[in-house]
Amino acid sequence: MARYVFITGGVVSSLGKGLASAALGALLQARGFSVRLRKLDPYLNVDPGTMSPFEHGEVFVTDDGAETDLDLGHYERFTGVAARNTDSVSSGRIYSNVLEKERRGDYLGKTIQVIPHVTNEIKDFLAVGEDEVDFMLCEIGGTVGDIEGLPFFEAIRQFSQDKPRGQCIFMHLTLLPYVTASGELKTKPTQHSVKELRSIGIAPDVLVCRSEHPIPEKEREKIALFCNVRKDAVIAAPDLKSIYEAPLAYHREGLDQAVLDAFAISPAPRPDMRRWEDVMDRLENAEGTVRVAIVGKYTQLEDAYKSIAEALTHGGMANRVRVKAEWIDAEIFEREDPSPSLQGFHAILVPGGFGERGTEGKIKAAQFAREKKVPYLGICLGMQMAVVEAARNMAGLKDAGSEEFDHEAGKKRFTPVVYHLKEWVQGNHTVARKVDDDKGGTMRLGAYTAMLDPGSKVAEIYGSATIEERHRHRYEVDNKYREKLEGCGLKFSGMSPDGRLPEIVEIEDHPWFIGVQFHPELKSKPFAPHPLFADFVRAAKEVSRLV
Ligand code: GLN
- What confidence score (pLDDT) does residue 160 get? 97
Question: Is ligand 1 within 6 A of the CB of residue 235?
Answer: no
Smallest CA separation from ligand 1 atom 5, residue: 381
The Cα 349–Cα 328 span in angstroms is: 10
- Angle between helix 246-253 and 17-30 (nearest 10): 80
pLDDT tens for residues 443-471? 899 999 999 999 999 999 999 999 999 99
312-320 average pLDDT score = 97
Q: Please tell me the pTM assigned to this model.
A: 0.93
- What confidence score (pLDDT) does residue 302 get? 74
* Closest atom of ligand 1 to CA, residue 355: 1
Smallest CA separation from ligand 1 atom 9, residue: 352
Residue 436, pLDDT above cutoff 70: no
Site to substitute for ligand 1 among 59, 305, 354, 421, most atoms within 8 A of C-beta = 354
Question: Distances from the Cα of 396 to the Cαs of 213, 390, 400, 478, 508, in angstroms?
Answer: 62, 8, 9, 16, 19
Using CA of residue 226, residue 229, residue 232, residue 238, what is the dihedral sign? negative
Give residue 402's Cα distance to chain centre.
27
The percentage of the chain sitting over the pLDDT mark of 70, rounded to a whole number, equals 97
Residue 440, pLDDT above cutoff 80: no
Instruction: Work out the mean pLDDT of the chain and round it to a whole number.
Output: 93
Smallest CA separation from ligand 1 atom 7, residue: 352
Question: Is ligand 1 within 6 A of the CB of residue 354?
Answer: yes
The Cα 106–Cα 110 span in angstroms is: 9
Site to substitute for ligand 1 among 59, 379, 384, 424, most atoms within 8 A of C-beta = 384
Residue 395, pLDDT above cutoff 60: yes
Question: Is ligand 1 within 6 A of the CB of residue 476?
Answer: no
pLDDT band at 299 (very low <50, low <70, confident <90, very high): low
pLDDT tens for residues 528-541? 999 999 999 999 99
The Cα 352–Cα 385 span in angstroms is: 10
Smallest CA separation from ligand 1 atom 10, residue: 475
- What confidence score (pLDDT) does residue 437 get? 59
Q: Is the distance from CB of 474 to CB of 420 less than 8 angstroms? A: yes
Site to substitute for ligand 1 among 406, 475, 519, most atoms within 8 A of C-beta = 475
Question: Ligand 1 center to residue 313 CA distance, Å?
Answer: 24
Q: Name which of 29-38, 106-115, 313-322, 407-416 the model is least confident about.
A: 407-416
Smallest CA separation from ligand 1 atom 8, residue: 352
